[in-house]
Protein backbone atom coordinates (compact mmCIF):
# COMPACT_ATOMS: atom_id res chain seq x y z
CA UNK A 1 0.00 0.00 0.00
CA UNK A 2 1.10 3.51 -0.68
CA UNK A 3 2.52 5.26 2.34
CA UNK A 4 1.44 8.67 0.97
CA UNK A 5 -2.31 8.49 0.42
CA UNK A 6 -4.47 7.87 3.46
CA UNK A 7 -6.75 4.91 3.65
CA UNK A 8 -10.51 5.07 3.42
CA UNK A 9 -13.06 3.16 5.49
CA UNK A 10 -16.22 1.52 4.23
CA UNK A 11 -18.91 -0.65 5.73
CA UNK A 12 -19.58 -4.09 4.27
CA UNK A 13 -22.45 -6.37 5.18
CA UNK A 14 -22.41 -10.02 4.15
CA UNK A 15 -26.09 -10.95 4.03
CA UNK A 16 -27.85 -13.88 5.77
CA UNK A 17 -28.05 -16.32 2.84
CA UNK A 18 -24.27 -16.09 2.37
CA UNK A 19 -23.58 -16.68 6.07
CA UNK A 20 -25.53 -19.95 5.74
CA UNK A 21 -23.24 -21.00 2.86
CA UNK A 22 -19.72 -21.52 4.25
CA UNK A 23 -18.21 -22.00 0.76
CA UNK A 24 -19.60 -18.66 -0.47
CA UNK A 25 -18.56 -16.86 2.73
CA UNK A 26 -15.02 -18.26 2.47
CA UNK A 27 -14.74 -17.13 -1.17
CA UNK A 28 -15.97 -13.62 -0.37
CA UNK A 29 -13.55 -13.32 2.54
CA UNK A 30 -10.73 -14.46 0.26
CA UNK A 31 -11.74 -11.78 -2.29
CA UNK A 32 -11.63 -9.15 0.46
CA UNK A 33 -8.09 -10.15 1.42
CA UNK A 34 -6.90 -10.67 -2.17
CA UNK A 35 -7.98 -7.10 -2.95
CA UNK A 36 -5.82 -5.65 -0.17
CA UNK A 37 -8.61 -4.73 2.21
CA UNK A 38 -7.75 -4.73 5.87
CA UNK A 39 -10.46 -5.72 8.31
CA UNK A 40 -10.60 -3.05 11.00
CA UNK A 41 -13.65 -4.42 12.82
CA UNK A 42 -15.99 -7.32 12.26
CA UNK A 43 -18.99 -8.72 13.99
CA UNK A 44 -21.54 -11.41 13.26
CA UNK A 45 -24.91 -10.06 14.29
CA UNK A 46 -28.57 -10.87 13.95
CA UNK A 47 -30.13 -7.64 12.80
CA UNK A 48 -33.46 -7.07 14.53
CA UNK A 49 -36.44 -6.07 12.46
CA UNK A 50 -36.47 -2.61 14.07
CA UNK A 51 -32.74 -2.14 13.38
CA UNK A 52 -33.24 -3.23 9.76
CA UNK A 53 -36.13 -0.77 9.44
CA UNK A 54 -33.95 2.01 10.81
CA UNK A 55 -30.90 1.13 8.69
CA UNK A 56 -32.93 0.92 5.46
CA UNK A 57 -35.33 3.80 6.31
CA UNK A 58 -34.41 5.66 3.10
CA UNK A 59 -36.05 2.80 1.16
CA UNK A 60 -39.26 2.75 3.24
CA UNK A 61 -41.45 3.90 0.35
CA UNK A 62 -39.92 1.48 -2.17
CA UNK A 63 -41.77 -1.64 -3.30
CA UNK A 64 -39.05 -3.97 -2.01
CA UNK A 65 -38.75 -2.49 1.50
CA UNK A 66 -40.80 -5.10 3.41
CA UNK A 67 -39.07 -7.96 1.61
CA UNK A 68 -35.65 -6.41 2.36
CA UNK A 69 -36.44 -5.88 6.06
CA UNK A 70 -37.79 -9.41 6.42
CA UNK A 71 -34.73 -10.89 4.72
CA UNK A 72 -32.13 -8.84 6.60
CA UNK A 73 -33.69 -9.85 9.93
CA UNK A 74 -33.98 -13.53 8.92
CA UNK A 75 -30.59 -14.64 10.23
CA UNK A 76 -27.06 -13.58 11.08
CA UNK A 77 -25.05 -11.18 8.90
CA UNK A 78 -21.35 -10.37 9.02
CA UNK A 79 -20.65 -6.66 9.32
CA UNK A 80 -17.14 -5.41 8.55
CA UNK A 81 -15.32 -2.11 8.61
CA UNK A 82 -12.89 -2.40 5.70
CA UNK A 83 -9.88 -0.16 5.07
CA UNK A 84 -7.74 0.45 2.00
CA UNK A 85 -7.04 3.20 -0.48
CA UNK A 86 -10.30 4.02 -2.32
CA UNK A 87 -12.13 1.43 -0.20
CA UNK A 88 -15.63 2.58 -1.10
CA UNK A 89 -15.23 2.45 -4.87
CA UNK A 90 -13.15 -0.73 -4.79
CA UNK A 91 -15.64 -2.59 -2.58
CA UNK A 92 -18.56 -1.47 -4.76
CA UNK A 93 -16.64 -2.56 -7.85
CA UNK A 94 -16.16 -6.02 -6.32
CA UNK A 95 -19.84 -6.15 -5.39
CA UNK A 96 -21.11 -5.39 -8.88
CA UNK A 97 -24.51 -3.82 -9.63
CA UNK A 98 -27.46 -4.41 -7.28
CA UNK A 99 -29.77 -5.88 -9.95
CA UNK A 100 -28.65 -9.50 -9.66
CA UNK A 101 -30.41 -10.84 -12.78
CA UNK A 102 -28.60 -8.28 -14.95
CA UNK A 103 -25.38 -8.58 -12.94
CA UNK A 104 -25.12 -12.31 -13.56
CA UNK A 105 -24.74 -11.43 -17.27
CA UNK A 106 -22.96 -8.06 -17.11
CA UNK A 107 -20.59 -8.75 -14.17
CA UNK A 108 -20.52 -12.54 -13.67
CA UNK A 109 -17.25 -12.44 -11.68
CA UNK A 110 -18.57 -9.90 -9.17
CA UNK A 111 -19.72 -10.94 -5.69
CA UNK A 112 -23.35 -10.33 -6.60
CA UNK A 113 -22.89 -12.05 -9.95
CA UNK A 114 -21.54 -15.16 -8.25
CA UNK A 115 -23.47 -15.26 -4.97
CA UNK A 116 -26.55 -13.08 -5.41
CA UNK A 117 -29.92 -14.81 -5.63
CA UNK A 118 -32.21 -11.82 -6.20
CA UNK A 119 -32.13 -8.04 -5.90
CA UNK A 120 -32.92 -8.33 -2.17
CA UNK A 121 -30.66 -11.35 -1.61
CA UNK A 122 -27.79 -9.80 -3.53
CA UNK A 123 -25.09 -11.21 -1.20
CA UNK A 124 -23.60 -8.05 0.26
CA UNK A 125 -23.94 -4.36 0.98
CA UNK A 126 -21.43 -1.54 0.60
CA UNK A 127 -21.51 2.12 1.54
CA UNK A 128 -21.94 4.44 -1.44
CA UNK A 129 -20.06 7.51 -0.17
CA UNK A 130 -17.74 8.68 2.59
CA UNK A 131 -20.62 10.34 4.40
CA UNK A 132 -22.76 7.19 4.18
CA UNK A 133 -19.84 5.01 5.29
CA UNK A 134 -19.34 7.07 8.44
CA UNK A 135 -23.06 7.00 9.22
CA UNK A 136 -23.32 3.24 8.60
CA UNK A 137 -20.18 2.47 10.61
CA UNK A 138 -21.62 4.42 13.54
CA UNK A 139 -24.91 2.53 13.19
CA UNK A 140 -23.31 -0.91 13.54
CA UNK A 141 -20.25 0.03 15.61
CA UNK A 142 -21.45 2.82 17.93
CA UNK A 143 -18.26 2.68 20.03
CA UNK A 144 -15.98 3.04 17.00
CA UNK A 145 -14.81 6.61 16.49
CA UNK A 146 -13.78 7.25 12.89
CA UNK A 147 -11.82 10.41 13.75
CA UNK A 148 -9.85 8.66 16.50
CA UNK A 149 -9.14 5.70 14.19
CA UNK A 150 -7.76 8.03 11.52
CA UNK A 151 -5.57 9.92 13.95
CA UNK A 152 -4.36 6.97 16.05
CA UNK A 153 -4.52 3.85 13.87
CA UNK A 154 -4.74 4.73 10.17
CA UNK A 155 -0.98 5.50 9.87
CA UNK A 156 -0.18 2.02 11.24
CA UNK A 157 -2.63 0.33 8.88
CA UNK A 158 -1.38 2.41 5.92
CA UNK A 159 2.25 1.52 6.71
CA UNK A 160 1.35 -2.17 6.74
CA UNK A 161 2.19 -2.44 10.42
CA UNK A 162 -0.63 -4.96 10.91
CA UNK A 163 -0.90 -8.69 11.17
CA UNK A 164 -3.92 -10.66 9.99
CA UNK A 165 -5.54 -12.86 12.61
CA UNK A 166 -7.22 -15.54 10.50
CA UNK A 167 -9.01 -17.07 13.47
CA UNK A 168 -11.05 -13.92 14.08
CA UNK A 169 -10.82 -12.48 10.52
CA UNK A 170 -9.30 -9.22 11.68
CA UNK A 171 -6.17 -7.14 11.11
CA UNK A 172 -4.42 -6.08 14.28
CA UNK A 173 -1.63 -3.57 14.78
CA UNK A 174 1.69 -5.29 15.36
CA UNK A 175 3.05 -4.86 18.86
The SS3 call for residue 173 is strand
Can you state the angle between helices 130-140 and 87-95, rounded to 10 degrees?
A: 80
Furthest-apart CA atoms within the chain: distance in Å: 50
Could you tell me which residues come within 8 angstroms of residue 16 by beta carbon, excluding any fewer than 6 positions away? Answer: 71, 72, 74, 75, 76, 77
170 by Cβ neighbours in 10 Å (0-12 / 13-18 / 19+) ranks as middle
| Catalytic site positions | 125
CA dist 73 and 54 (Å) reads 12
Long-range contacts (CB closer than 8 Å, 24 or more residues apart) made by 45-53: 45/76, 45/77, 45/79, 45/140, 46/73, 46/75, 46/76, 46/77, 47/72, 47/73, 47/77, 48/73, 49/73
Amino acid sequence: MSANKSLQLTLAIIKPHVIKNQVALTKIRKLILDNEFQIVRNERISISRSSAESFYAEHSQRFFYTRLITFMSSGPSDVYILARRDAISKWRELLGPTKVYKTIISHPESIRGKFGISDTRNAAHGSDSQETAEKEIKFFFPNFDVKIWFSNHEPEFRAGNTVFNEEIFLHEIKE
